[in-house]
Amino acid sequence: MARERRRCEGSAVVEFSLVSSLLVMLFACVIQVGIAVYVRNTLVAAAAAGARYAASTDRSPGDGATRTRQLIDASLPAAYASHVSAGYQVVGGLDTVVVQIQAPLPMVGLLGPAEELVVRGHALVEVLP
């Protein structure tokens, strides 16, 4: 019995270190996915708001792009607002304003994809009667 006890001494420390390292990696991955989803949702909301702003009367797509940059700067680092473009597009026979944002996908280390995140916001252009 004493011989068996001596063989198992120190195994709890090794098991703890192995399991805790796996749990830390899993927790870091969950946090990283949460950050990526937050950034994507923020950019989608900013693009949609910028498109609605540009679609209102007496506004241009440039106004919508500027508004989108302001919204992004208010909630994310400035690097996410560097590639914002806006223009007109016909969808289903209707004139719409499209605001497009190209931003880096927020990943840590070399494990993430090297692609950019591209989001678009659309709004129907208001026509005066």
User: Domain limits of the chain?
Assistant: 2-124
Give pTM, 2 decimals.
Answer: 0.81
Backbone angles phi, psi at 106, to 5 degrees: -75, 100
pLDDT at 128 over 70: no
Higher local confidence (pLDDT), 115 or 62:
62
Residue 110 has pLDDT above 50, yes or no: no
Q: Using 50, 70 and 90 to split pLDDT, how confident is the model at 112?
A: low
User: How far is Cα 27 from Cα 95, in angstroms, rounded to an integer?
Assistant: 46
Q: What is the pLDDT of residues 4-61, one digit of tens each?
A: 666 666 677 888 888 999 999 999 888 888 888 899 999 999 999 999 999 988 889 9
Give the model confidence (pLDDT) of 61-81 as tens digits: 999 999 999 999 999 988 888
Instruction: Categorize the per-residue pLDDT at 126 as very low, low, confident or very high, splitting at 50, 70 and 90.
Output: confident
Look at residue 113 and tell me whether its pLDDT is greater than 60.
yes
Residue 96: how many other CB atoms lie within 10 Å: 18
| Percentage of the residues of the chain whose pLDDT score is greater than 70 | 84
